[in-house]
Structure 1
Amino acid sequence: MKNIISIFLISSLIFSHSFLDNFNIFNNRTDGDINNDGVVNVQDIIILVNFILTNGSNDNADINNDGLINVIDVIQVVNIILYGPIADDCNEENFSTDGILTNIDEQIYNNDESINSYSIYSWSQDDQDRILSGNGIPNHEVGTFPNANCPNSITEQNINHSFSLYPEIVSEQGESVGGPGGVIAYALNSVKFDPGTAGRCNDNGVCSLAQGNGNWSIEALGHETFDFGDDMNHAHVQPNGAYHYHGMPDLLIDFLNDDESILLIGWASDGFPIYAEYGYSDACDNQSEIIELQPSWRLKDSPDLGRPEILTELTGGPGSGSGLNIPIPMGAFTQDFEYIEGSGDLDECNGRIGVTPEFPDGIYHYMVTNQFPYFSRCLKGDFNGTGGGTGGGGTGGGNPPDCENVPQGMPCCGDGICGGPENNSNCPEDCQ
């Protein structure tokens, strides 16, 4: 009885509304067009009411797709008539991040035994840019460093980086960035994301975890054949002392989490935001279910031609030796994966356009995921005009080792480009 009264009141409201004369303006609409005549008008409401009163059924009548035909569907048809069709798109251009998380200034002492130092980071802005200043020290628990597979200690870095407040997509496929080529992103605590590694293997299975030769790029996560000494945050330390994330920074998420399942945890160098793990099932509907978003990268059905199947020798760094005869499973190399458009929720750069709590009209954003690629290996926005993080990227900084002390096969002077050992004679550009 209550439903009948509600329907009557809603219908009365429609007939008395000044928009009644314009009922026929919404042509070629799918939502709300119960009788498929190309028009959403009062006839559709009458048909919908009859379905409700007679327990009838019609695929077009369940407007909100909840499996029921009831007064809620009537309300939605009324809204379509009065205010226009249900929006199914979100903003795809003219993005702005102005005023979002630009008033942060933190100094937090981290008494973890591998740190015992302050985590210092600040985010501010001017008219055009978001500005990060920090020391790259994490504000959460970390693993033990140095350790058997990562012989480097965490040291302060000199992070100064700027990001556009008005990012725009300039590449549909994205441009590769990260490692020696530049910093791909920073978390809010000024720790950088750097998902790739310098590890390589040749076709004969001769591999190095740092500055190896060969076409096969070793992944840090997702297998047990190669151990980079990463911790519970899927992070480890570069020779210059830079702690950095390869994947999901779990304890940073715990630190930041304020009961929001969709959590902004950092900014990419092109100015677009970074979120962790979760998003709306309908990218442009903030009323849809919150789910764990899935990448669109998949493990190949078979290995590429020439891919080594056996680790025969590991050169340079911890665990080196020959005659190893260790199987290399699929997933150990970056080349073991392929992008299949539409197979997941995200694009080739592990991002998508969608609404978030901070951006209700939608924005392009990158995701950290629990599956490969874990974090983006490419950026879709313009990052060439942004400032560099002098301690967080491939340009070194912080406290790099003396050139004479760089082990064979390890990155030189912290810049990740040359092999060691180095000195002022054989690598003057890296040993100032």
Structure 2
Amino acid sequence: MKTKISCWKSSSSLLSLCLVISTLTACGGSSSADSDESSESGTTNSAPIANAGTDQSVFLNSTVVLSGELSSDADKDTLGYSWSFSSIPNGSVATLSSDTQVAPTFVADVIGSYRVNLTVDDTLLNSEVDSVEIVVSEVPQSSTLGVLCDYNYNEYNDSIYVQDDSFSQWSCTDSERLLSANGIPDHEVGEFPNEGNPNTISSQTISANLSLSPVESTAATELGGPRGVTGYVLNGVKIDAGTAGSCDDSGDNCSLIDNSGNWSIEALGHTSFNFGTDNNNAHVQPGGTYHYHGMPEGFITKQGGGDTSMTLIGWAADGFPIYARYGYSIVSDATSALKLLTGSFQLKSDVSASRPSQDIYTLGTFAQDWEYVAGSGDLDECNGRVGVTPEFPEGIYHYFATDSYPYFQRCVKGEVEVTGGMPPP
């Protein structure tokens, strides 16, 4: 029932007459999705249309990202989202990260079919239900035999701050991938020594034995610094995203080479400290070891890497491959468009009261400023995912170097022996 009040005023008698008109707008009312609702202004409100996205095929233990972004409303009203599972495989304990966000996530923990329903509303009317199916399959056997088993490079690097031979040789046995290298980069480098890094690049003796048949596990093993190298770029230069720098709680006592403080200093992503990194996001350890903290730009350029194909740049300590920046937008479809991938770490909204002052050390200065938020990016806590690649068309777990934190993997998902006594990065 709607009520309309109309008033007339006589200019001569100064009397007002108001007529109350009651109009029966509907008997019993209706809130179904296929009904339109008229507003008091006389306009018609149309029911919104839900779009749960396209069906997906993913591998076991992948983080599935749903999307209702293509849902629409003819009246351009703001939409509310309501997601729910209509079916999951037996034994699955999958839960949605949110049932009201536009793009929630869940972990596909059991092989089989998951069906998820989406309803949207404009506060007045609900849409019809739309659903999306996610089919989960077993991760393919991860043999890397035959991929870059004969990578060899041995040329003089005439960069003014190198002036030495760059040597890197990869080979394979029946079970292992072997590296022999001298750690001299094969591309231009920045000035070393420099104000933030007093060390000179020098030849090293580098050898590594990696598995040719890595196996992904649900547990992650942290590496880096004294725990061991996280991986190597194909040119034989090691990867180590973290540093040995730290500050105490007051922020008055900080060191770039002493990790005894509670707050671990990052090499990249802030201006609070200067580690003397070059345009390759690399610098030099006291013993002369050149190593990458982030994207190895010079090597990627030398390999012809860009946004038109995935670029394999190295191997992690567990034997899984490492790619740079770009991956397929649909993890199981090598014909899908490439996209710039991002890690799933976010700056904390609530930082510890014991943290050194943000007025001096901006958020992002310390590793403890970051937290892993599943589904907030494209990758897992080790900056990796399962999917197809040009070298592995059946799919494999693989890592990525990204332009934002954590830059490189800081843990590995495959079996690896944790060592000690490595020099600080």
Question: Runs (4+) of structure 1 moved beyond 4 Å?
Answer: 86-91
Amino acid at match of 2:312: L
Q: Which residues in structure 2 correspond to 1:114-263 (within 5 Å)?
A: 114-170=161-217, 172-205=218-251, 206-257=253-304, 261-263=309-311
Query: Which of residues 387, 392, 404 is equivalent to 1:371?
Result: 404
Report what 2:341 is aligned to. 293
Q: Is the 8 A contact 2:153 2:167 kept in 1?
A: yes
Q: Is the 8 A contact 1:133 1:190 kept in 2?
A: yes
Report what 1:416 is aligned to. 424
Q: Which residues in structure 2 correspond to 1:5-404 (within 5 Å)?
A: 89=136, 92-170=139-217, 172-205=218-251, 206-257=253-304, 261-309=309-357, 327-384=360-417, 395=422
**Structure 1: where are the runs of 5+ without partners?**
1-57, 68-85, 311-325, 396-414, 418-432
Q: Displacement, 1:181? A: 1.5
Closer, same or farther: CA 63–327 of 1 in aligned 2, 3 Å: closer
Aligned partners of 2:336 and 2:137: how far apart in 1? 14
Aligned partners of 2:201 and 2:212: how far apart in 1? 31
Q: Displacement, 1:377? A: 0.8
Amino acid at match of 1:280: Y
Aligned partners of 1:173 and 1:120: how far apart in 2? 35
Task: State the identity %.
Answer: 49
Q: Displacement, 1:416? A: 3.2
Count of aligned pairs between the two proteins: 301
Closer, same or farther: CA 273–90 of 1 in aligned 2, 3 Å: farther
Higher strand share: 2
Q: Displacement, 1:212? A: 4.1
Aligned partners of 2:134 and 2:313: how far apart in 1? 28
- How well do the aligned residues superpose, as a CA RMSD in angstroms? 2.7
Aligned partners of 2:172 and 2:399: how far apart in 1? 21
Q: Is the 8 A contact 2:140 2:395 kept in 1?
A: no
Report the TM-score when normalising by structure 1: 0.66
Q: Displacement, 1:110? A: 0.5
Q: Displacement, 1:173? A: 3.9
Aligned partners of 1:117 and 1:91: how far apart in 2? 47
Q: Is the 8 A contact 2:156 2:165 kept in 1?
A: yes
Aligned partners of 1:263 and 1:91: how far apart in 2? 25
RCO comparison, higher one (Cα < 8 Å, 6+): 1
Residue 322 of structure 2 aligns to a residue in which SS?
strand
Aligned partners of 1:302 and 1:248: how far apart in 2? 29
Report the TM-score when normalising by structure 2: 0.67
Closer, same or farther: CA 214–339 of 1 in aligned 2, 3 Å: same
**Structure 2: where are the runs of 5+ without partners?**
1-49, 57-69, 71-132
Q: Displacement, 1:371? A: 0.7
Closer, same or farther: CA 234–378 of 1 in aligned 2, 3 Å: same
Amino acid at match of 1:373: P
Post-superposition CA distance 1:165-194 (Å, at most 9, x none): 000013x24111111221110000000001
Aligned partners of 1:90 and 1:240: how far apart in 2? 47
Amino acid at match of 1:177: L
Q: Displacement, 1:354? A: 0.6
Post-superposition CA distance 1:340-395 (Å, at most 9, x none): 1111110000000010000011100011000100111101101119xx8xxxx953
Q: Is the 8 A contact 1:90 1:355 kept in 2?
A: no
Q: Is the 8 A contact 1:135 1:158 kept in 2?
A: yes
Q: Displacement, 1:305? A: 2.7
Aligned partners of 1:164 and 1:232: how far apart in 2? 31
Report what 2:115 is aligned to. none
Aligned partners of 1:87 and 1:356: how far apart in 2? 20
Q: Displacement, 1:144? A: 0.3
Residue 196 of structure 2 aligns to a residue in which SS?
coil
Residue 183 of structure 1 aligns to a residue in which SS?
coil
